[in-house]
Chains A and B, each alone.
Chain A
Amino acid sequence: MDKVRLQREAAFIRSSLLDQGYLDEQFIQLEELQDNDNPNFVEEVVTLFYTDSARLIYNIDQALLSNPTDFTKLDDYMHQFKGSCSSIGAKKVKNECNGFGEYCEAQNYDGCFRTFQQIKQEYINLKKKLETYFQPSYDHIYAYYLISPYDLMR
């Protein structure tokens, strides 16, 4: 494995994630908190984000299945989820959350449901891209270039 080549690919992925608005400046702030004593800080935070927010995603899914719909609860879960997205710099996912909040306020179930599917899609999409960034390998890079932003969840 050409380590230099892989590192260069990882750097390219990072730049394009930032350029294309998947990530914002908060991600850079995380990188600045990484040092020799905490060499994997960013990856740790991102991993923590995905494991912790999986719980919130599940809760929202469940709440969307409940009848009658508890919009207050939905809004509350989404507020927490959005906060976490913001904390790691997941810009695109975070922006999708705004629409959800509006539908909650309007008590529009269909709007909430549809928007949430989009949120999940962006969430998974980002996860795949970040995995490639943190663990660049030829397989990952190959897969990265094949996945378009409009690809479906696997």
Chain B
Amino acid sequence: MGMAAAAATESQQFHVLAVDDSLIDRKLIERLLRTSSYQVTTVDSGTKALEFLGLRENDDGTPNTPSISPNNHQEVEVNMVITDYCMPGMTGYDLLKKIKESSSLRNIPVVIMSSENVPSRISRCLEEGAEEFFLKPVRLSDLNRLKPHIMKRSKLKDQDQKQVIPEKIDTLLEVQKQHQPQEEAQPQVQPNLEQQQQQQSLQQNNNNNNNSSNKRKSMEQSLSPETTDRTRPRYSGIATVV
């Protein structure tokens, strides 16, 4: 179900490939993405995702930005991948790695979803290049966090690095890197994260400074009280938009 992409009458429409082995979660993520006006294709495994992405061995080292110019190696253009972490066979992490290792696909933003809040898992995914990490069940408010990433990407077709986003946390990181690589002053990050490990990882990542900034932003967002505390007792008889 949902294997064939919808007729692309609007070539500008953002196409998301959603990967999840759970039937319920596929239905949910599809609805969430459609509500957010994205074109959606769902598959039930990492293997099928790679097939859909048309992943082949590619000697071409030039990074492409699929959202701007169609990639010859893809059957259908995909602008973002959102995948479950825990899947039989190829995990979401494996899929992420494969995408980031592919010269034709590595610029496609990848979002990881998981039902478990495991800081080391989150770190690992962000370090591997995941754009965001969502805790399940995913909500509309989570998808709204993707919009800045999407806007940003479409502006940077010719650049290898992302622009520095004028947000407090990213500016903070830039300043930190220039002055004291060892210094950790992240007041916004939740204390339950292993900051040491994370800081070292960020420092070691020399290739893409802004990628680290984004990871950090994602990390911070993933660990904000709203997402770590999943009990959400705020229910009232009147339905409210979260």
Q: Is A48 an interface residue (CB 8 A)?
A: yes
Q: Are the C-beta atoms of B235 and A45 separated by less than 8 Å?
A: no
Q: Is A124 an interface residue (CB 8 A)?
A: no
What is the predominant secondary structure among interface residues of chain A facing chain B? helix
A71 to B235, CA, bound (A): 36
Q: Are the C-beta atoms of A83 and B140 separated by less than 8 Å?
A: no
Q: Are the C-beta atoms of B136 and A83 separated by less than 8 Å?
A: yes
Selected interface stretch from A29-37, A58-66, A108-116, A126-134: A29-37
Measured CB to CB, the residues of B under 8 A from A are 22-25, 27-28, 31-32, 35, 86, 115, 136-137, 139-140, 232, 234-235, 237, 239-242
Q: Are the C-beta atoms of B27 and A83 separated by less than 8 Å?
A: no
The contact of B25 among A33, A79, A83, A89, by CB within 8 Å, is A83
Q: Given A18-B235, A25-B235 in contact, is the A45-B27 Cβ separation under 8 Å?
A: yes
Q: List residues of chain B with CB within 8 A of the CB of A19.
A: 237
What is the predominant secondary structure among interface residues of chain B facing chain A? loop
Nearest chain B CB to A88 CB, angstrom units = 7
The chain B residue sitting closest to A34, CB to CB, is: B31
Nearest chain A CB to B31 CB, angstrom units = 5
Q: Are the C-beta atoms of A29 and B23 separated by less than 8 Å?
A: no
Query: Which residues of chain A from 22 to 44 have any CB-CB distance to chain B below 8 Å in the complex?
Result: 24-26, 28-33, 38, 41, 44
A45 to B32, CA, bound (A): 13
A60 to B72, CA, bound (A): 45
Q: Given A41-B31, A86-B136, A86-B137 in contact, is the A52-B232 Cβ separation under 8 Å?
A: no
The contact of A31 among B22, B23, B234, B239, by CB within 8 Å, is B239
- 14 more A-B contacts (CB under 8 A) besides A18-B237, A24-B235, A89-B137? A28-B240, A29-B140, A29-B242, A32-B241, A38-B31, A44-B27, A45-B27, A45-B28, A48-B24, A79-B86, A84-B22, A86-B115, A86-B136, A87-B25
Q: Is A80 an interface residue (CB 8 A)?
A: yes
Nearest chain B CB to A107 CB, angstrom units = 21
A89 to B230, CA, bound (A): 12
Nearest chain B CB to A154 CB, angstrom units = 25
Q: List residues of chain B with CB within 8 A of the CB of A52.
A: 23-24
Residue of A25, A48, A80 with highest tally of chain B CB at under 10 A: A25
The chain A residue sitting closest to B234, CB to CB, is: A25
